[in-house]
Amino acid sequence: MNGMKSSAIRELLKLTERPEIISFAGGLPAPELFPIDAMMRVSADVLENDGKAALQYTTTEGFLPLRRFIANRMKVQHVETCEQEILITSGSQQGLDFAGRVFLDEGDVVVCERPSYLGAINAFRAYQCQFKDVPMDDDGMRMDLLEETLKTTERVKFIYAIPDFQNPTGRTMSVERRRTLVELARKYNVLILEDNPYGELRFEGEILPAIKHFDTEGRVIYLGTMSKTFCPGLRIGWVSASPDVVNRFTIAKQGADLQSSTIAQRQAAKFVENYNLDDHVQRIISVYRKRRDLMLSGMEKEFPKGIEFTRPQGGLFTWVTLPRGFNAEKILERALEQKVAFVPGASFFACGGNENTFRMNYSNMSEERIVEGVKRLGHVLRTL
C-alpha cells in the first residue's frame, strides 16, 4: 500500500458532486439515457419468472445466456469467439485487477500509452510493477517507439492499450498500428491487454476491428464492459481470451468475489433479449455527438490561441494541452472559483510529468451547461 496513492479523480469527483459545479471532470455516462422504464419491466420479469435462480449463487464464469450474447456481440469488433472464452467480471475494472494478479510479479514491466487510464495504472501498481510509457500521436501509440522500448526493456509482461477514443486523450489507434502492435508482441513474446469500453460509441465512420481481431495465437486479452453502452451500475464487464487465460482469470475471480451479481447478470441478459441494444447505443451516440460538437466548437471560440485539443470521433473525452510552463492543477483552482471543473492531466502519466494537460468530459453535462462551462473556462484561460 505504501506505493499507492488515492486516485486524484475520486478525490476530485467528491468536490465536483456539488450541483452548482459544471463538471467536465468525471467520466460518467448521461444518466437521462439510462433505460429506466425498460429496466423496471425487466427486473419484474426476472424476479417473477426466475426469482429463485436470480437470487441464488451462480457459476464464477457467469450467466451462460449473457456470455453467449457477449460472445456474439464481439462480432461488432470483428472478433470471432464463443461463450467458453468469455468470463463475466464486475466491470472491466475487475479485469484490469485480475490482469495484474495473474501476470505481474514484483518488478515486472507494463508498457502503456503516454498518457493512459489512471484506474488501470493504479490497479497494476498494486502488484508492484514498473511502467514504461510510449508516446502517442493522433494515430495512437507510436509503434517505432514501442519497438525501441521492447528491444531495450527486460521483463515486459504485457502492453496495455485502449485502442478506441482512449481515456484520457480521445485518440484512436489506426488499423495499421493495431496490426503492427500484434506483430511486435509476437516478435518480442509479450501479451497485449486490450481495454475497450468506448469502441461502440463511434460518432462517425465504421467501428474499427479490435486489436484482438489480428491475434491468431491467443496473445491478446480483451476487456469489455456494458458500462458505457448500457449502464455502469450493473457492473457487467467481461474478459475475452483464450480458454487457458480465462481459466486463470476465473481462479482469480474465485478468490476475489466468487462471481458477479447473479441478478444483475440476469437483468442485463433479459434487457438484451427483450430490447434492441443497437437502438439504445444509437440513442447514446446521437446525444454524445451533439455534446462533443458543442464542446469542441466552444473551445475553438473561447480558448486562447496556443492551446491544443484532440478531436475525438467518439467516446467521452477530449484532451487539452496548454503551452509548456502552465500547470493545470493551479488552473483548476481558478476554474473552481468560476464553478467549472476538469481533471488535471498529470495523474494519467504513469511515469510523471506533463502538468500542462487536462481532460474534459462531454457526456455527462447538458448542452446548456457545456456551452456555459466552456465559456467560463475560456475566460479563466484568457485571464491567465
Residue ranges that bind ligand PLP, judged by CB under 6 A: 27, 91-93, 117, 119, 162, 167, 195, 197, 225, 227, 232, 237
Nearer to ligand PLP, 146 or 162 (CB): 162
Nearer to ligand PLP, 237 or 314 (CB): 237
Shortest separation between residue 372's beta carbon and ligand PLP, angstroms: 25
Shortest separation between residue 109's beta carbon and ligand PLP, angstroms: 20
Burial of 219 (0-12, 13-18, 19+ CB in 10 A): buried
Nearest of 151, 374, 215, 370 to residue 132 by alpha carbon? 151
Nearer to ligand PLP, 93 or 310 (CB): 93
Nearer to ligand PLP, 167 or 262 (CB): 167
Nearer to ligand PLP, 141 or 380 (CB): 141
How distant, in Å, are the alpha carbons of 4, 80, 237, 323, 355 from that of 7?
Answer: 9, 36, 21, 26, 16
Nearer to ligand PLP, 93 or 260 (CB): 93
Question: Mapping DSSP to helix (H, G, I), strand (E, B) and coil, where does residue 63 land?
Answer: coil
Shortest separation between residue 295's beta carbon and ligand PLP, angstroms: 18
Query: CB atoms < 10 A from the CB of 375, how many?
Result: 15
Residues 92, 197 contacting (CB under 8 angstroms): yes
How distant, in Å, are the alpha carbons of 85, 128, 163, 182, 184 from that of 187?
Answer: 25, 26, 20, 9, 5
Q: Looking at beta carbons, which residue is closest to ligand PLP?
A: 91
Shortest separation between residue 232's beta carbon and ligand PLP, angstroms: 5
AA identity, residue 87: L
List the grid coordinates of 225: 464492459
List the grid coordinates of 95: 479485469
Q: Which residue has the cell 475497450?
A: 196
Shortest separation between residue 359's beta carbon and ligand PLP, angstroms: 11
Taking each helix axis from N to C terminus, what angle separates 143-152 and 175-187, rounded to the nearest 10 degrees? 10
Nearer to ligand PLP, 234 or 263 (CB): 234
Question: Mapping DSSP to helix (H, G, I), strand (E, B) and coil, where does residue 60 land?
Answer: coil
Nearer to ligand PLP, 23 or 167 (CB): 167
Backbone dihedral angles phi then psi of residue 159, each to the nearest 5 degrees: -105, 125
Shortest separation between residue 374's beta carbon and ligand PLP, angstroms: 22
Shortest separation between residue 325's beta carbon and ligand PLP, angstroms: 29
How many whole angstroms separate alpha carbon 56 and alpha carbon 259?
Answer: 11
Shortest separation between residue 134's beta carbon and ligand PLP, angstroms: 16
